[in-house]
Amino acid sequence: MPGDLIRVLIIGHPDPEFARAVRLENVPAIWADGFDISCLDNDTRINETLARIKPQVIVTFGVMADFRELNVAPLDIRLRWIHASAVHVADDFELCIRTFLANGASGTMLKGNGP
């Protein structure tokens, strides 16, 4: 729907307040500078969460091998996944925009279809 924020699922960030602070910097005043963010501690039962939240981008923090369910997820889910090795990467949320745009070209995420 036009005007909606990009839906982002953050998994594994140690600070629960992190999501509130995520903002894009240096954007025109008429642009939205935030995201619609949901947070989880781990990727247990990730398919249920993906079906409910329908995130357009997934961002994980921590040891990549710990995200067992995401590592074996179908390609269309893994294409939405950004793994951050550091916990202070608010600047890297511009990657969320690029990931959304790269995957949105197929139309799947823009229509809200799929997990």
| Domain range list for the chain | 7-110
> Tens digit of pLDDT for each residue in 49-90?
999 999 988 989 889 999 999 999 999 999 889 888 655 555
> Tens digit of pLDDT for each residue in 7-53?
889 898 877 777 766 666 666 665 666 678 888 999 999 999 999 99
Report residue 4 as tokens: 């909606």
Q: What is the pTM of this model?
A: 0.73
Least confident of 3-7, 45-49, 89-93, 104-108: 104-108
Architecture field, domain 7-110 = 3-Layer(aba) Sandwich (3.40)
Distance CA 79, CA 100 (A): 10
Distance CA 94, CA 24 (A): 7
Distance CA 102, CA 110 (A): 11
